[in-house]
């Protein structure tokens, strides 16, 4: 009975309170939270010195490590590995060719040893040669069944609850929220609306070349095994300019891949906001920064103080990490 | 007194009527108008067989010749010619180099004779080597003073009134309106919000490579003299997929440059709409199609009937062409 009452209290009293009166309920009352609240108040106060009209309230978010977990490896790499295994019967030559051979033997050190060149090869071989619509179905099917190896829940549930609240809070304040990720644009678009409330047209990412063809009278777009654009590091401001065409006023990242995006966004005129998620929580999530293979955070951490970027200490700043199951 | 009454009538009686009850007032009551109205009614009627939820109501518009005049030459070419003249003192070598020499002598046949290769060279030489922000200012400054040679009014007023009404009508019905143009994306973005009500992030166009740099401690994006993407012909469906990430349900064009976009959009499942503006009005605007150098309309006109695309006869379908001065 007591439990039932508590549930009742949570559902009908506390939850609406949180929604209406208290934004960011999963953020502890520390600097990171108050910095966000203060920034939003400043740029949305009409008549105020720092007021920004809604059309210019653009906020950009990195995805891997900022909105969802990127450990023990990028989700898209887990996808490429599963695709390699699924496609292997039709590619007998992969048994003797790196990085495919290492993938098929489950030798992750061998995969890592193939370096960035090997990774690109793996991605291109498993992500192209099919139409854009076929690829979309494959991504959706995979996400429906694949599970995070540690949490044993779908990857789309290994997203950060505090960041979901932040996205919703910004949108409630007439911000337009965008993803600007090094990941493949067509790997993200099939699910970002449902998971983050971000529609496909507000996702910026890396792209492969595609070719328009008419096959049996039916127009289609074929994904080609050629990199078109890498939306990472110095590519992020380039991608923002290409896709959004405006300099955002707020940027959220977690690694050196976001350094130039943070520099570009926060050096514009007027009030700007930069934030770095620092993974400090080995117990609930992962603890990594300067030495990590995925999501290395080194230079951007050094520059944070100089640029007045907010650094989130995951362990201390987040009351919870993942959404309730 | 009579004139005053008429103004009063227009302002307070007719205008609200047009806004509230009668969309597309500059369209004559013919098939083109009723096709548009019927399509919008079908896809917005909840519970109807052809209903499309607002998130999927995406409409794409070509710009040159569809939203504004592209004769006697593309506006961006007029801009490149004026830029060539302005930059010439710093480029003495242009006096003996085509197509620059022809531009400086005002010999448009010589410019045309340099072909597509010459045009690209002209565009790159006059549009790059500066930052994205410098380019934006140059475009704005030019548009503020340049005038259309025939109409003697700013190019941004040589837009089609019926198409402005169509954009507004679609948005009033929860469509998201996009430009998908062969023109330079950064040549359009500085003014599309003001002129068409289309924000920069809903403009798809051709791009040059840009490079992120930090100069004197200040991050900037430098426009490089290299083509990144040509958003024309078979490039249009590619651009739509890259920037929007969804297949639109309606496409509006006027030339063979829009053929593949029309094919791609109207071959999707469910109710779709394709429309071609046919320039048939030499008196009020221009009359051209199969033989035109700018905006050639040949194959797309042949395919219109087969795909059930609506062909606008400018002379007969449009009650007026340009907005009141």
Q: Does residue B253 have a pLDDT over 90?
A: yes
Per-residue exposure over A26-48, b if at least 16 CB sit within 10 Å of its own CB, e if not: bbeeeebbebbeebbebbbeeee
CB contact under 8 A, B201 and A246: yes
The shortest CB-CB distance from B241 to any of A132, A238, A241 is to A132
CB contact under 8 A, B238 and A211: yes
pLDDT at site B191 = 98
B72 Cα distance to chain centroid: 15
If residue A172 lies in a helix (H) or strand (E), which one and from where to where? helix A161-172
CB contact under 8 A, B260 and A219: yes
Q: Does residue B1 have a pLDDT over 60?
A: no
Calculate what percentage of chain B has a pLDDT beyond 70: 94
Residues of B within 8 A of A246 (CB-CB) are: 200-201
pTM of the model: 0.93
Residue A52: how many CA atoms within 13 Å on its side-chain side?
25
pLDDT at site B280 = 98
Min Cα distance A260 → chain B (Å) is: 8
SS3 A295: coil
Chain B residues touching chain A at CB-CB below 8 Å: 55, 132, 176, 185-186, 189, 193, 199-203, 207, 210-212, 214, 218-219, 221, 228, 234-235, 237-238, 241-246, 260, 263-264, 267
Distance CA A305, CA A291 (A): 20
Query: Within 10 Å of residue A90's Cβ, how many Cβ atoms?
Result: 7
pLDDT band of residue A20 (cuts 50, 70, 90) is low
Q: Does residue A150 have a pLDDT over 60?
A: yes
Determine if the peptide bond prior to A99 is cis (ω within 30°): yes
Mean pLDDT, residues A134-155: 98
Nearest CA in chain B to A233: B212
Question: Which contacts (CB < 8 Å, 24+ apart) does range B264-269 have?
Answer: B264/A212, B264/A219, B264/A221, B264/B236, B264/B237, B264/B240, B265/B60, B265/B240, B266/B307, B266/B308, B266/B309, B267/A218, B267/A219
pLDDT band of residue B21 (cuts 50, 70, 90) is low
Instruction: Express each pLDDT in A245-304 by its tens digit.
Output: 999 999 999 999 999 999 999 999 999 999 999 999 999 999 999 999 899 999 999 999
The shortest CB-CB distance from B219 to any of A55, A211, A237 is to A237
Q: What is the DSSP letter of A147?
A: B
Residues of A within 8 A of B228 (CB-CB) are: 242
Q: How many contiguous H segments (helices) and E segments (strands) does chain B have?
A: 15, 7
Residues in chain A, how many?
Answer: 325
CB A262 within 8 A of CB A253: yes
The shortest CB-CB distance from A238 to any of B212, B218, B263 is to B212
Q: If we measure between CA atoms, which residue out of B223, B225, B178 comes closest to residue B205?
A: B178
pLDDT at site B20 = 56
CB A258 within 8 A of CB A231: no
Interface test with A, best of B203, B227, B245, B260 (most A CBs within 10 A): B245
CB contact under 8 A, A200 and B245: yes
CB contact under 8 A, B263 and A210: no
Q: Does residue B16 have a pLDDT over 80?
A: no
Interface test with A, best of B202, B211, B212, B231 (most A CBs within 10 A): B212
Q: Classify the C-alpha dihedral B307-B160-A244-A31 as positive or negative.
A: negative
CB contact under 8 A, B193 and A55: yes
Going by C-beta distance under 8 Å and a sequence separation of 6 or more, which residues neighbour residue B134? none
Instruction: Express each pLDDT in A28-50 by its tens digit.
Output: 999 999 999 999 999 999 999 99
Going by C-beta distance under 8 Å and a sequence separation of 6 or more, which residues neighbour residue A6? none
Min Cα distance B168 → chain A (Å) is: 18
Nearest CA in chain A to B192: A245
Min Cα distance A315 → chain B (Å) is: 32
Residues of A within 8 A of B211 (CB-CB) are: 234, 238
Mean pLDDT, residues B156-166: 98
The strand pairing partners of B4, in sequence order, are none
CB B295 within 8 A of CB B288: yes
pLDDT at site B15 = 47
Nearest CA in chain A to B132: A241
B90 Cα distance to chain centroid: 32
Residues of B within 8 A of A235 (CB-CB) are: 212
Residues of B within 8 A of A238 (CB-CB) are: 210-212, 221
Mean pLDDT, residues B259-275: 97
Instruction: Express each pLDDT in A160-204 by its tens digit.
Output: 999 999 999 999 999 999 999 999 999 999 999 999 999 999 999
Chain-wide mean pLDDT for chain B? 94
pLDDT at site B10 = 46
Mean pLDDT, residues B88-114: 94
Q: How many A/B residue pairs have CB atoms within 8 Å?
A: 84
Calculate what percentage of chain B has a pLDDT beyond 90: 90
Residues of A within 8 A of B264 (CB-CB) are: 212, 219, 221
Phi, psi of A162, deg, nearest 5: -60, -35
The DSSP bridge pattern shows strands B310-313 and A58-61 to be unpaired
């Amino acid at each position: 009975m007591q439990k039932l009452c508590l549930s009742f209290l949570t559902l009908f009293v506390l939850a609406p309170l949180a929604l209406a009166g208290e934004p960011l309920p999963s953020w502890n009352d520390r600097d990171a939270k108050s910095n966000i609240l203060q920034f939003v108040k400043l740029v949305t106060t009409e008549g105020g010195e720092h007021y920004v009209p809604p059309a210019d309230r653009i906020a950009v978010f990195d995805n891997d490590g900022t909105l969802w977990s990127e450990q023990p490896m990028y989700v898209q790499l887990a996808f490429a590995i599963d695709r390699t295994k699924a496609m292997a019967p039709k590619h007998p030559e992969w048994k003797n060719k790196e990085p495919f051979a290492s993938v098929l033997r489950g030798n992750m050190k061998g995969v890592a040893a193939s370096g960035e060149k090997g990774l690109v090869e793996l991605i291109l071989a498993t992500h192209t040669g099919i139409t854009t619509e076929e690829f979309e179905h494959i991504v959706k099917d995979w996400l429906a069944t694949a599970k995070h190896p540690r949490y044993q829940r779908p990857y789309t549930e290994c997203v950060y609850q505090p960041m979901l609240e932040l996205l919703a809070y910004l949108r409630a304040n007439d911000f337009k929220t965008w993803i600007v990720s090094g990941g493949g644009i067509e790997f993200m678009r099939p699910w970002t609306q449902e998971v983050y409330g971000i529609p496909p047209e507000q996702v910026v990412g890396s792209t492969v070349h595609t070719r328009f063809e008419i096959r049996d009278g039916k127009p289609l777009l074929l994904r080609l095994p050629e990199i078109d654009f890498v939306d990472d590091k110095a590519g992020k401001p380039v991608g923002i300019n290409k896709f959004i065409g405006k300099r955002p006023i707020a940027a959220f990242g977690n690694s050196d891949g976001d350094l130039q995006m943070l520099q570009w966004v926060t050096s514009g005129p007027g009030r700007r906001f930069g934030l770095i998620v620092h993974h400090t929580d080995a117990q609930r999530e992962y603890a990594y920064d300067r030495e990590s293979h995925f999501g290395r955070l080194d230079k951007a951490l050094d520059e944070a103080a100089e640029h007045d970027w907010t650094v989130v200490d995951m362990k201390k700043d987040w009351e919870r990490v993942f959404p309730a199951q």
